[in-house]
């Protein structure tokens, strides 16, 4: 059952991508669209909120909505699964577990994951047959058994955990910065020591807010980039900062 506002958003998105509404042009008014789609104005507004969140259109009180762009793609929601992202974009990808061991949680980890014992897994993932990502993931104790049962060459941990124990990675918090490659990072990723890596630290929770994992992912420079769109005013697209630990002289930009 697809919601009506989703279908309206889909149709308008298609029109924008097809060029029926060029970038910079005005969209029809909400009243016109409501008439055209036989929907209430509120439903049309819900559809427009979707397009605004995608960065396709912008709005301001009193003036018609404007087309801001015509590119469309996967959502950041898939970001916590490397495999799903790579597959959706048609890339060849692979991965292998380097090490996997249980150990007591550090102070910060036990606070973040609400867990005394954790499972630390180091995975190396490749894109188009080149190593691009080193994933150092720490799982909360309650998911450790399910993770250990996974085959070593498991393509998508996210999907496998959903199928085995119905686990959904619902919310995530991400901290993105740049770090130099350490000796081990450099060896595994095939770069020189000290060369730039794009680091993404994240904490993931279930729908209920229960912490699942905390991860430190490092990408070889030049292999991936993160994309964000923002706007001021209009929709409350405001997001918010995290409680991952920062260095003493490190500051944070928030999204």
Rule CB under 7 A: which residues touch DNA?
1, 3-6, 27, 29-32, 38-43, 45-46, 48, 59-65, 208, 234
The CB-of-224 to its own copies minimum distance in angstroms stands at: 5
On whether the CB atoms of residues 64 and 101 are closer than 8 A, the answer is no
The CB-of-229 to DNA minimum distance in angstroms stands at: 16
Give CA–CA dist 26/23, Å, rounded: 9
Is 189 a binding residue for its own copies by CB under 8 A? The answer is: no
Q: Can you tell me whether residue 49 is helix, strand or coil?
A: helix
The CB-of-41 to its own copies minimum distance in angstroms stands at: 13
Question: Looking at beta carbons only, is 42 or 194 nearer to DNA?
Answer: 42
On whether the CB atoms of residues 102 and 118 are closer than 8 A, the answer is yes
- 123 Cβ contact list (under 8 Å, min separation 6): 95, 96, 97, 98, 134, 135, 137
Question: Looking at beta carbons only, is 57 or 86 nearer to DNA?
Answer: 57
Length of the chain: 255
The CB-of-117 to its own copies minimum distance in angstroms stands at: 20
Binding mask of the shown chain, residues 70 to 99, with x at each position contacting its own copies by CB under 8 A: -xxxxxxx-xx----x---x-x--------
Give CA–CA dist 90/230, Å, rounded: 27
Which residues inside 121-180 make contact with its own copies, applying CB under 8 A? 127-128, 130, 168-180
Q: Which stretch binds its own copies (CB under 8 A): 31-39, 97-105, 140-148, 222-230?
A: 222-230
Which residues inside 103-122 make contact with its own copies, applying CB under 8 A? none
* Start-to-end C-alpha separation, the chain: 32
- The alpha carbon of residue 229 and the mean position of all alpha carbons in its chain are separated, in whole angstroms, by 13
Give CA–CA dist 27/128, Å, rounded: 40
On whether the CB atoms of residues 45 and 27 are closer than 8 A, the answer is no
Is 61 a binding residue for its own copies by CB under 8 A? The answer is: no
Which position among 129, 151, 166, 240 is part of the footprint of its own copies (CB under 8 A)?
A: 240
Question: Looking at beta carbons only, is 127 or 138 nearer to its own copies?
Answer: 127
Question: Looking at beta carbons only, is 42 or 187 nearer to DNA?
Answer: 42
List the one residue out of 172, 233, 235 whose CA is nearest residue 45: 235
């Amino acid at each position: 059952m697809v919601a009506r506002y989703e279908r309206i958003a889909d149709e308008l998105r298609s029109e924008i991508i097809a060029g029926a509404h060029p970038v910079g042009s005005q969209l029809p008014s909400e009243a016109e669209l409501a008439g055209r789609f036989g929907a209430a104005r509120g439903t049309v507004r819900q559809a427009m909120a979707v397009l605004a969140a995608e960065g396709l259109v912008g709005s301001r009180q009193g003036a018609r909505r404007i087309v801001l762009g015509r590119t469309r793609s996967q959502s950041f929601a898939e970001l916590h699964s490397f495999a799903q992202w790579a597959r959706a974009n048609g890339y060849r990808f692979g991965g292998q577990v380097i090490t996997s061991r249980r150990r007591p949680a550090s102070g910060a980890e036990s606070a973040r994951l609400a867990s005394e014992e954790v499972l630390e897994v180091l995975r190396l993932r490749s894109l188009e047959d080149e190593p691009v990502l080193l994933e150092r993931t720490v799982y909360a104790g309650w998911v450790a058994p399910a993770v250990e049962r996974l085959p070593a060459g498991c393509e998508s941990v996210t999907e496998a955990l959903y199928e085995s124990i119905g686990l959904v990675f619902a919310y995530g918090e991400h901290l993105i910065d740049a770090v130099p490659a350490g000796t081990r990072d450099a060896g595994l990723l095939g770069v020189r020591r000290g060369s730039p890596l794009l680091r993404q630290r994240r904490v993931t929770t279930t729908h209920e807010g229960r912490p699942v994992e905390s991860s430190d992912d490092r990408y070889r420079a030049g292999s991936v980039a993160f994309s964000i769109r923002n706007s001021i005013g209009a929709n409350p697209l405001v997001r918010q900062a995290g409680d991952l630990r920062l260095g003493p002289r490190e500051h944070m930009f928030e999204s």
